[in-house]
Amino acid sequence: MKAILITKKGGPEVLELRETATPVPATGEVLIKIKAAGLNRSDIYSRSSNSYGKKESGEGASGGEIPGLEVSGHVTACGPGVRRWKEGDAVCALVTGGGYAQYIAVPEGQCLPLPEGISLEEAAALPETIFTVWLNVFQTARLRAGERFLVHGGSSGIGVTAIQLATALGVTVFTTAGTDEKCRWCESLGAKKAVNYKTEDFEIELKDVGIDVILDMTGGDFTPKNLRLLREDGRIVFINAMRGNESSVNIAEIMRKRLVLTGSMLKPRDTAFKAALAAEVEKNVWPLIARGAVKPIIYKILPLEEAAEAQRLMESSGHIGKILLRVS
């Protein structure tokens, strides 16, 4: 099969389209003929360093790693013991690397049917951000209807999913983004107020809100501001620290407001964890997609061969929503 391989650590130019062995589904796995693959920021870290999450799977025959954490396509073969799926089924799946390819073998529990009304290609935009947002915002931070929620990076793949999901579930959403255009776009998606963090101080702009939950990918200098914005019993969940891993926190403030600070990485979690999360996502989020309350927001679709260009686009942060690779 053809696949994009990370030939060595470096810039987008190290991504090369090569022939590599087609995977064989093991016990409990299905083989998917990939229609489309979603890009995620983590793909950039896999290519440029080993520092984000754990490097695993996606090993191609020539020894390089195949990036890609989510795909859509048709099941073309089932390994022993597969119960839910059969040849020809259309699915989307959360994978642990290996998505930028023509085929991938995936544990059956990490596959989901296409939500009603979603095309096979669009479905590649769903798994990674929906699993991440459901896990961190709704399971871990227990965001509830009537609460106030701040998500940084509102125009990111994660941000557009978080804004839509929280809005659909009766939450008031606030967000930040790096341009006025992105901010207005986030407001059109459902955010009550979006702050351009490059031209305004989001702490000043949101100081009277009283935030219950923050989904944060920024860390660094934003952390003290975030903690000050949280009301009593507020929760903050870190999913990255794009502004730096080191932050100063005021411990008295944590005690006084009974704040909860936590975080997680989805990629290194095991198959059983991802399958259990998939079941929760199917039960709670798929109906919201079927009734149009949550939509895949797709900025651009490029052919698999242009994976390097697609990653350049993501690194430029010029996009709003998801970037996809069209495979077949």
Q: Which position among 20, 40, 96, 172 is part of the footprint of ligand NAP (CB under 6 A)?
A: 40
User: What CA–CA distance (Å, rounded) separates 32 from 203?
Assistant: 46
247 lines the binding site for ligand NAP (CB under 6 A): no
User: What CA–CA distance (Å, rounded) separates 62 from 218?
Assistant: 36
223 lines the binding site for ligand NAP (CB under 6 A): no
Write a three-state SS string for 48-110: HCCCCCCCCCCECCCCCECCCCEEEEEEEEECCCCCCCCCCCEEEEECCCCCCECEEEEEHHH
Among residues 29, 146, 128, 139, which one has the least CA distance to residue 76?
29
* Structure tokens belonging to residue 215: 């989904």
The least distance separating ligand NAP from the CB of residue 264, rounded to whole angstroms, comes to 6
The least distance separating ligand NAP from the CB of residue 245, rounded to whole angstroms, comes to 12
Going by C-beta distance under 8 Å and a sequence separation of 6 or more, which residues neighbour residue 7? 14, 15, 16, 64
Q: Which position among 74, 84, 193, 243 is part of the footprint of ligand NAP (CB under 6 A)?
A: 243
60 lines the binding site for ligand NAP (CB under 6 A): no
Q: Which is nearer to ligand NAP, 85 or 100 (CB)?
A: 100
**Piece of the chain touching ligand NAP by CB under 6 A; list 3-11, 14-22, 261-269, 300-308:** 261-269
User: Which residue type occupies 322?
Assistant: K
Size of the site for ligand NAP (CB under 6 A): 27
Q: Which position among 156, 164, 223, 311 is part of the footprint of ligand NAP (CB under 6 A)?
A: 156
Q: Which is nearer to ligand NAP, 25 or 219 (CB)?
A: 219
Q: Which position among 153, 219, 234, 296 is part of the footprint of ligand NAP (CB under 6 A)?
A: 153
Write a three-state SS string for 224-251: HHHHHHEEEEEEEEECCCCCCCCCCCCH
Q: Is the dihedral of CA 109, 35, 319, 175 positive or negative?
A: negative
Give strand pairing partners of 260. 235
**Piece of the chain touching ligand NAP by CB under 6 A; list 55-63, 103-111, 151-159, 225-233:** 151-159
How many other C-beta atoms lie within 10 A of the C-beta of residue 90?
Answer: 17
Q: Which is nearer to ligand NAP, 29 or 128 (CB)?
A: 128
301 lines the binding site for ligand NAP (CB under 6 A): no
Q: Which position among 168, 242, 254, 288 is part of the footprint of ligand NAP (CB under 6 A)?
A: 242
Q: Which position among 31, 37, 143, 177 is part of the footprint of ligand NAP (CB under 6 A)?
A: 177
- Tell me which residues touch ligand NAP (CB under 6 A): 40-42, 128, 132, 152-153, 155-159, 177-178, 182, 197, 217-218, 239-240, 242-243, 264-266, 314, 317
